[in-house]
């Protein structure tokens, strides 16, 4: 008799969604989390009365998340206190001009029309194309396994409409956006979205061109901080007796004859089970928790070949004034070619300039209760930063860099900032690695280009260890809050099918 | 011999097409090509 039916390593959104669904199926589930709170990248910490989001700062694709809650007989909107965000975002372009996109597709078209009537027509065509793709993807792509060729064939057989959109998979994000938009300002306003999936516009697969459009289906902020989403999943699971153990580190996955037998904690305690779900980086899990001795050589070559996704340095600013912003999300953008150049000349070369672009997430705009009265919080998602800096280290650079970036923001996007910072913290890729135990601070686990996608990403059902499953950003459909929740649904289905 | 000639001509043609692509598409294609060798091992993860 095992201690648990299922043990989940990591209480990120993928781990909690699979745990909640499996406990709803009547299985005895234990979720083990190394940190003091749930959520992983989608979490919130408290410092001196300010509630600050660690990474994710908005919810897109609520319909995907709602699918998960619906399977448990409830709804996303009932379980999590959601605040609608409208407009979707403002983009402050490199020349200082600003474009604001409301949720309404029609209003967005009008905004684009003011700048380029031709692109307003492009927006219509783009919307039609992406809506068609999303309709098909919601039925198949997001919620079906893609661990091998058979899975992928089944996925396309289930939703043949996806085949109509094959060009999206074989073009780049930039290629698709350039097809519909010609005006340099409009193109620039959509340039940073590619980093929502971790790559510059030229390298990101074209189906991610859905990102700017998907925001128009509604975006939300969770009252009290983004931790509200994992907590909603946790409370659904706990109603079915799912247990969550915080501040506990799993050291090894116990394996005998290529079958899961349990886990061993850092203190040597062994907990038995025949099913383990890993919600941590697949490369780290296979090499450090499973052990190379259990893997065939080809799998080891494959695992070693994976590149980690980008790390995303964050600057958390707690302020005693209302910042001169208008939206929850303000994107500081660069033209598409400059965004690609940043990748080649800074990210890949290990340098991190003070002239930043990225996202200013003014979370207290949507939920003033996150900060003391009259105070505000901005979480700045900076440009991707390489884990290994050339000729220096993040720890060495951190104090000076923080001051330099604050000064740069005060001179450009946030006048007056210098006199109003009550509290500031720069979270570097090294800090992310320490806080989340994510190798190299990778926010989407592994890169998200085509050779790291679908059947070329680690399989949700381990090919080599019976009873081992993967959720989260390491497996299909990849990184991002809705997609990791979708991975939890996929694994719950696989376990229901294969582990009676 | 004929097959080899056709293949060489095809490779040269593809290379010329590649050279005519914009910088960003070249980046996309190069990234894909640089990882082709890993696709089979990755399939077995």
Q: In this complex, which of A149, A201, A451 lies closest to B38 when CB atoms are compared?
A: A451
Q: pLDDT at residue A231 above 90? A: yes
Where residue A138 falls among pLDDT bands split at 50, 70, 90?
Answer: confident
Q: pLDDT at residue B1 above 90? A: no
pLDDT at A170: 86
| Enclosing H/E stretch for A303 | helix A297-305
Q: Is A25 on the interface with B (CB under 8 A)?
A: no
CA A395 vs CA A73, A90, A419, A425: distances in Å: 47, 33, 25, 13
DSSP-based three-state secondary structure for A76 = helix
DSSP-based three-state secondary structure for A296 = coil
Decide: residue A129, CB within 10 A, 0-12 exposed, 13-18 middle, 19+ buried. Answer: buried
For residue A438, give both structure tokens.
């994510």
How many Cα neighbours within 13 Å face the side chain of A86?
A: 11
d(CA A105, CA A108): 5
Question: Would the CB atoms of A449 and B31 count as touching at under 8 Å?
Answer: yes
Closest CA to A94 of A313, A323, A331, A264: A331
Q: What is the pLDDT of residues A96-127, one digit of tens each?
A: 999 999 999 999 999 999 999 999 999 999 99
Mean pLDDT for the stretch of residues A288-312: 95
pLDDT at B18: 85
Q: What is the pLDDT of residues A73-93, one digit of tens each?
A: 999 999 999 999 999 999 999
Where residue A166 falls among pLDDT bands split at 50, 70, 90?
Answer: confident
For residue A1, give both structure tokens.
């008799």
pTM: 0.93
d(CA A266, CA A220): 38
Question: Would the CB atoms of B42 and A457 count as touching at under 8 Å?
Answer: yes
DSSP-based three-state secondary structure for A342 = helix
Neighbours of A128 (CB within 10 A): 11
Question: Would the CB atoms of A203 and B28 count as touching at under 8 Å?
Answer: yes
d(CA A145, CA B45): 14
DSSP-based three-state secondary structure for A421 = strand
Where residue B19 falls among pLDDT bands split at 50, 70, 90?
Answer: confident
Q: What is the pLDDT of residues A344-366, one digit of tens each?
A: 999 999 998 878 899 999 999 99
Question: Would the CB atoms of A305 and B32 count as touching at under 8 Å?
Answer: no
d(CA A170, CA A450): 8
Q: pLDDT at residue A167 above 90? A: no
Q: pLDDT at residue B23 above 90? A: no
**Summary mean pLDDT of chain A:** 94
d(CA A197, CA B6): 41
Q: Is B21 on the interface with A (CB under 8 A)?
A: no
């Amino acid at each position: 008799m095992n201690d648990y039916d299922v043990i989940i390593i990591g209480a990120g959104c993928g781990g909690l969604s699979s745990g909640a669904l499996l406990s709803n199926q009547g299985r005895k589930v234990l979720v083990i989390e190394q940190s003091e709170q749930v959520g992983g990248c989608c979490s919130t910490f408290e410092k001196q009365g300010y509630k600050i989001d660690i990474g994710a700062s908005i919810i897109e694709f609520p319909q995907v998340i709602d699918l998960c809650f619906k399977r448990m007989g409830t709804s996303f909107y009932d379980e999590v206190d959601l605040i609608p965000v409208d407009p979707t975002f403002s983009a402050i372009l490199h020349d200082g001009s600003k474009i604001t996109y409301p949720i309404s597709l029609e209003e967005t078209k009008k905004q684009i029309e003011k700048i380029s009537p031709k692109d307003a027509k492009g927006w219509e065509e783009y919307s039609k194309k992406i809506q068609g793709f999303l309709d098909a993807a919601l039925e198949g792509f997001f919620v079906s396994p893609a661990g091998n060729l058979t899975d992928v064939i089944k996925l396309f057989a289930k939703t043949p409409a996806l085949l109509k959109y094959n060009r999206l998979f074989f073009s780049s994000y930039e290629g698709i956006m350039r097809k519909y938009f010609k005006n340099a300002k409009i193109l620039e306003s959509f340039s940073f979205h590619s980093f929502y999936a971790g790559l510059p516009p030229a390298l990101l697969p074209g189906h991610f061109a859905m990102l700017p459009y998907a925001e128009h289906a509604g975006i939300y902020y969770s009252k009290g901080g983004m931790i509200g989403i994992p907590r909603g999943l946790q409370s659904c699971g706990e109603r079915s007796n799912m247990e969550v153990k915080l501040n506990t580190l799993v050291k090894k996955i116990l394996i005998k004859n290529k079958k899961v037998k349990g886990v061993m904690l850092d203190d040597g305690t062994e907990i038995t089970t025949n099913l383990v779900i890993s919600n941590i980086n697949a490369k780290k899990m296979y090499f450090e928790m499973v052990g190379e001795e259990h893997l065939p050589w080809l799998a080891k070559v494959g695992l070693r070949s994976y590149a980690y996704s980008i790390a995303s340095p964050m600057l958390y600013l707690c302020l005693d004034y209302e910042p001169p912003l208008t939206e929850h999300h303000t994107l500081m953008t660069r033209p598409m070619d400059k965004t690609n150049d940043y990748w080649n000349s800074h990210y890949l070369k290990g340098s991190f300039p003070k002239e930043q672009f990225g996202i200013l997430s003014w979370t207290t705009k949507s939920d003033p209760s996150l900060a003391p009265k009259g105070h505000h919080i901005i979480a700045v998602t900076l440009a991707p930063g390489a884990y290994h800096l050339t000729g220096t280290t993040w720890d060495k650079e951190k104090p000076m860099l923080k001051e330099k970036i604050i000064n740069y923001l005060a001179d450009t996007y946030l006048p007056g900032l210098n006199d109003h910072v009550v509290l500031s913290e720069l979270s570097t890729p090294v800090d992310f690695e320490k806080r989340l135990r994510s190798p190299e601070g990778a926010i989407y686990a592994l890169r998200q280009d085509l050779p790291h996608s679908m059947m070329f990403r680690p399989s949700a059902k381990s090919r080599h260890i019976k009873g081992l499953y993967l959720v989260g950003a390491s497996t299909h459909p990849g990184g991002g809050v809705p997609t990791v929740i979708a991975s939890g649904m996929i694994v719950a289905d696989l376990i229901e099918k294969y582990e009676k | 011999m004929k097959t080899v000639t056709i293949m060489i001509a095809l490779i040269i043609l593809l290379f010329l097409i590649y050279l005519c692509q914009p910088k960003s598409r070249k980046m996309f294609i190069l990234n894909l090509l640089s990882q082709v060798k890993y696709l089979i091992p990755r399939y077995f993860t």
